[in-house]
């Protein structure tokens, strides 16, 4: 649902955890999408991944609803 919305160039095709990393991003985007009703692209843009993310996988601010959604998908 979201895989085509992510830039996956930093995940090597030979990375043994590639599928898990992609699924984790998709899960975080899905949580944002379901919670806010935003578009797939907006949900995907709310996701980040890396060693310096302090355990957070996504954050989304809905200015109309004045709502912040923070996601940890692992």
pTM: 0.88
CB 73 within 8 A of CB 31: yes
Domain ranges for the chain: 15-71
Q: What is the pLDDT of residue 66?
A: 94
Cβ-proximal residues to 40 (8 Å cutoff; 6+ apart), any chain: 1, 2, 5, 29, 33
Q: What is the pLDDT of residue 23?
A: 92
CB 46 within 8 A of CB 29: yes
Q: List pLDDT tens digits, range 20-41.
A: 989 999 999 999 999 999 999 9
């Amino acid at each position: 649902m979201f895989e085509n919305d992510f830039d996956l160039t930093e995940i090597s095709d030979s990375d043994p955890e590639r599928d898990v990393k992609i699924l984790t991003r998709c899960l975080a985007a899905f949580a944002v999408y379901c919670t806010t009703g935003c578009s797939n692209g907006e949900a995907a843009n709310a996701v980040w991944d890396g060693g310096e993310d302090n355990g957070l996988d996504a954050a989304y601010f809905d200015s109309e609803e004045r709502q912040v959604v923070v996601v940890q998908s692992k």
